[in-house]
Structure 1
Amino acid sequence: MRIPGCCLLFVCCLPMAAFAEGYVFSYGFDGADAPEPRGGTTRGAPVDMAAAPDPRFDAVRAADLTAKQRDRRAILALAGEFKTTFEFVETATLVPDLARDDQPYRSWATEYVFVLEDSPDRIRLQHVLVMRFVDDDGDISDPMVTKHWRQDWHWQPERIWRYQGDRRWVSEPVDDPEGVWKQAVYQVDDAPRYEALGRWQHEAGASYWQSDSFARPLPRREHSVRDDYDILAGRHRITLTPTGWLHAQENHKLRRDDNGDRQAIAAETGLNRYQRIEGFDMTPGRELWDRQSAVWAAIRAEWRRLQQQHEVLEIRREVDGQSRFARLFGLAEEIAEADDETIARRVRDAIRPYITPGD
């Protein structure tokens, strides 16, 4: 699914001469012929940014918390209502005779992130998009509403699913889980995307989670423009701010060489900003979730059953010309009013063709 977005313009107080000479973050993009960013081309309705620090941010800094309690509060502070911006740029090629992709990616969204589960060792956060667009006449559209991705946080996990390439995931034991939080990220249809291990750090007033190195499939933003690599590998850092959070990425794009080994062909930097907003009507997102929640609960349960029964899974994106996400999104609306038994059966039948257990 392609997420609509808008081109973002940045205003800087540097003199024009500074741009003529180049600037560290404008490397390769400071000439008159610099390419327009790809990604979203729409404009969003005006939003009011939150000015005061969020109480959840302050709660992380409370005294007399255990390390786990402080970590849990940091994760819960990722929930709320946000304007989000997504920015990626390929910073260098790492093999000869490969031209750097000099077109940055920029997009945006307004989304509602809520706590789906809060138990002592697990926190689930569900993202739902609620987006309103401004047309050329200045009119604001009705909301576009859709389920988005999900992130699960698991304290001191025993196992982790690692992406191997070629749409193949493998479950492995975690060697040293003490003090570790696993972030599991799921695609818009709740299929596994990636899992990463890391620790929350709280120092000098800053709270951030730093991941280990991990791999994931080709991102959606590159599906239509790249076919020369199939794994994105890197490290992530999630940092709380008084009015939101930052998701920074340092990635390598990997392809399989003639010997079957993985080779990094390019480096990429990404930064996603989650900025809290106020007074934005997220009601359509809540209504969508209330209507479809039973179906998505069954979909989560089916993916969880598959991961518990198998240690290797190959997950197809498409079967008989129908994408997995399109089939499940259509099903979520089609059977929203059905009984639990019917929902479970229809979900199981819908997912089964896209799965090949490898063990």
Structure 2
Amino acid sequence: MKARFLLPLLAWVLGLPVLAEEKEAPAREIKAAPVSGGHVFAWPFLSSEEMKPRGATTTGSEVTLMSGSKEAWKRLQEPGLDKLEKDRRAILALAGNYRVSFDFTETVGLAENFKPTRPYFSWGTENVTLLEDRGKFISLQHSLVMYFKDEKGGVSGPHVMKHWRQDWTYEDPEMQVYQGDLTWKKTATPQPQGKWTQAVFQVDDSPRYEVAGAWNHDGGLSIWRSDNCPRPLPRREFSIRKDYNVLEGIHEISITPNGWVHVQSNRKLQVNKDGSRKYVGQELGVDRYEEITAPDLATGFNQYWAKTSGYWKDVRETWAKILKEKESFTLKDTYDEKQLFEIHFEYAAGLEEAEKPDPAADLKHAQETIGHFLEP
């Protein structure tokens, strides 16, 4: 992958803004309205210029939104389904090809003379693929699949980069709970009956957070609401914020006819080594997944996955063994002046160019790389 395309994708993964362009659908306008000089949501007495969302530098190709309802949505609405099957179909409906937007605004400040940071907004195109379905366990892989426009309007792509993963487990008896300082601890799931845990993994397949919650289906709405959940700072925050080290919050995932919406109500918390805690603020986030019919995302992902899936499976299985055997673990931030995702991505990029696979070398690299980042 050429550097000029890899860098925008890395920016997207790291939480920096990336924009694509939109095509008008026949029945509705989908272009974002320009920022006005008036009301700013949550901060009505601050100027729109002062609260302008953090910028964007990359231009993508046009997208076409799907009209009507997804087949997964129609299957979810079928009568006569028991609760467990409705839960499963709601989770399976998360898969698809999407325009994804990430929109976050601080709503409460708890420090003296608090001044909100500028809201965060980015969007791109993302494929969500079903990796595994074992009935009461479902795994979904997210991958960025981007088409970029050059200065003359020419389009190149697809350019693919593995993104995050979510694993769903029914009535999971235990979870990996984030403790702060890149430390996770195995913890019993409180009252797991009827609940699903959602385990979220970073772009390098290391753990990020895990939380339990229940699906509710009523009046055509399927929504999953989580318990309160601590997790590391998101990449959109840790490069600019030093006043807190844990983000905790409650998540809601709602299935829509053309995709899904993930709403987050988060608190920003400083947890010190002596155990003392201090909240510094709150934020509201809305991640919106809207099914698209163009450009083609699945083909690009399939081509990438055909070359790299064996290695990423080794990475997942190495982590699964660690999570099963260890009661707690702590990760190093860097090894040899590199972050974990950098080493994995460099190796995966080499696999895309390799003439033939070397499974033994893949497994060895996965195990050794992860081992370098585990604190003794």
Whether these two folds match at TM > 0.5 is yes
Aligned to 1:342: 361
Which residue of 2 is the match for residue 11 of structure 1?
33
Q: CA deviation at 1:199?
A: 0.4
Report the more deviating stretch, 348-357 or 211-220. Answer: 348-357
Q: Structure 2 unaligned segments of length 5 or more: list them.
A: 1-9, 22-30
Residue 135 of structure 1: how far off its partner (Å): 3.5
Cα distance in 1 for partners of 2:262, 2:155 equals: 29
Does the 8 A contact of 1:88 with 1:105 survive in 2?
yes
> Cα deviations across residues 45-92 of structure 1 (Å, max 9, x unaligned)?
111100110111011111111100000000000001001011111112
2:234 corresponds to: 219
**1:2·1:221 contact (CA, 8 Å) conserved in 2?**
no
Partner of 1:305: 321
Give the residue type in structure 2 aligned to 1:277.
Answer: I
Q: Deviations over 1:286-333 (max 9, x none)?
A: 101111000000000000111111010101231120111001111223
Contact 1:7/1:107, CA 8 A, preserved across alignment: no
Q: Is the 8 A contact 2:180 2:271 kept in 1?
A: no
Letter in 2 for 1:2: A
Amino acid aligned to 1:299: V
* Partners of 1:322 and 1:348 in 2: CA distance: 16
**Which residue number corresponds to residue 177 of structure 2?**
162
Change in Cα spacing, 1:32 to 1:264, as seen in structure 2 (3 Å) is: closer
Q: Give the total of aligned pairs.
A: 349
- Is 2:361 the counterpart of 1:351? no
Conserved? CA contact 2:20–2:62, under 8 Å: no
**1:173-228 deviation digits (Å, cap 9, x = unpaired):** 11311100000000001000000110001012111100010011010111221111
Look up the match of 1:49.
Answer: 65
Paired residue secondary structure (2:244): coil
Is it true that 1:31 corresponds to 2:53 in the alignment? no
Q: Give secondary structure in 1 for the equivalent of 2:343.
A: helix
Root mean square deviation of aligned Cα: 2.1
Query: For residues 290 and 39 of structure 1, what CA distance do their matches in structure 2 show?
Result: 35
DSSP-derived class of the 1:91 partner: strand
Native 8 Å contact 1:213 1:234 kept in 2: yes
The corresponding residue for 2:28 is none
> Counterparts of 2:158 and 2:45 in 1: how far apart (Å)?
34
- 8 Å CA contact retained: 1:116, 1:125: yes
The 1:258–1:306 alpha-carbon spacing in structure 2 relative to 1, beyond 3 Å, is closer
For the residue of structure 1 that corresponds to 2:346, the secondary structure is helix
Q: Does 1:240 align with 2:249?
A: no
Partner of 2:6: none
Deviation at 1:259, TM superposition (A): 5.8
Unaligned runs of 5+ in 1: none
Q: 1:339 corresponds to which letter in structure 2?
A: D
Give structure 1 regions of 4+ aligned residues with deviation exceeding 4 angstroms.
none
Q: Which moved more, 1:252-261 or 1:67-76?
A: 252-261
- Share of identical aligned residues, percent? 37
Deviation at 1:137, TM superposition (A): 3.2
Give 1:281's aligned amino acid.
D
Structure 2 counterpart of 1:323, from 323, 331, 339: 339
Larger displacement relative to structure 2 (218-227 or 299-308): 218-227
Structure 1 letter corresponding to 2:375: T
Partner of 1:176: 191
Deviation at 1:44, TM superposition (A): 2.1
Q: Does 1:69 align with 2:85?
A: yes
CA distance in structure 2 between the partners assigned to 1:261 and 1:42 by the alignment: 42
CA contact (8 A) 1:40 1:108 kept: no
Q: Distance in 2 between matches of 1:212 and 1:289?
A: 33
Per-residue CA shift, 1:95-119, capped at 9, x if unaligned?
Answer: 3243322x11110110111100011
CA distance in 2, matches of 1:144, 1:92: 38
Partner of 1:294: 310
* Range with greater deviation from structure 2 (154-163 or 332-341): 332-341
